[in-house]
A = this chain, B = another copy of it.
Amino acid sequence: MTSEVVRDAYERIRGLVHRTPVMTSATLDRESGNRVFLKCENMQRGGAFKFRGACNAILQLTPDEQKRGVVTHSSGNHAQALALAASLQRVKCRVVMPTNAPEVKRQATRGYGAVMIPCEPTLEARLATAERVIAETGAVMIPPYDDDRIIAGAGTAALELLEEAGDLDVILTPVGGGGLLSGTALAAQTATHPPRVIGCEPAGADDAYRSFKSGVRVEHSTPHTIADGLRTTLGERNFEIIRNHVADIVLVSEEEIIEAMRFVWERVKIVIEPSAAVAVAPVLFHRLDMSRQRIGVILSGGNVDLSEFFALLRAKIK
């Protein structure tokens, strides 16, 4: 894949996606010692950058494929994004979701009009159920990250960031399956002075880090992290791009993720999910050995289950 696919994707999807704001914070700049530009994909439609890739995939379906509809298996932001993108194009969307997925995610995905297909909470069951749906309906599989259309769509957030912030020295993104990191790495190549692209990963789910450092993709891992969007295993296509175009991958602790998330909520006054905070933590906690640099951070999403917090608040008015 070349960086041209990201430009092509952007031309395709720009009428459907939000051009999300780029925010700055004097406090963050001071704490970090750098000039930091936050690309607010938490404010993207569906609450995450995932909508970009989903649109890019949906808009490339043939008329016949549009009739058959799409399917995916995910309990996270990709499911919501695909459901929303499909509904906007009047394409039927089926989502295979494990029975133990949080009710809030089930509701959100159903809210965008997707047909929910429950399955046992194992990867085998998810794959088998998706295969059965494809066999029965002819639906087109749209995977969450290991897919050229998804990667190119994810990269469009960095294109907008570069347009708005101008030259950057570095762009940081979280890395889970690698869709956002690989897309961003391709997008960065389009700049006159390409920024270095660095992936940020929880130490408790460090398969991308180990793959990057060893040069061999780690196939399995047992993730332990609060960043629920980053528990997936690095994809094959993603790894190829990351290996060639990413400058480094840094690890952050669970403590740092929560502190970075709290910093952004309290100081920047925006709601980000733990996965997004993973790319803020290295800036805030001086993990990059950089100063006076212009750093872009892609805030990947803002879908947090707030029911406990609002239950606490509600208890106060009784």
Contacts and interface: CB of A to CB of B under 8 A. Distances in A.
Interface residues of A, number: 30
B302 A258 contact: no
A302 to B, nearest CB: 4
A310 B257 CA distance: 11
A36 to B, nearest CB: 15
A312 interface: yes
Interface stretch (A5-13, A90-98, A173-181, A266-274): A266-274
A21 B40 CA distance: 13
A281 to B, nearest CB: 13
Contact of A265 (B254, B258, B262, B271): B271
Contact of A270 (B271, B306, B309, B314): B271
Interface string A281-318: 00000000000000000000010001011101110110
Contact of A312 (B40, B254, B309): B309
A313 B226 CA distance: 8
A306 B264 CA distance: 12
A258 B21 contact: no
Nearest to A20: B269
B317 A47 contact: no
Nearest to A259: B310
A42 interface: yes
Contacts of A272: 269
A255 interface: yes
A47 B269 contact: yes
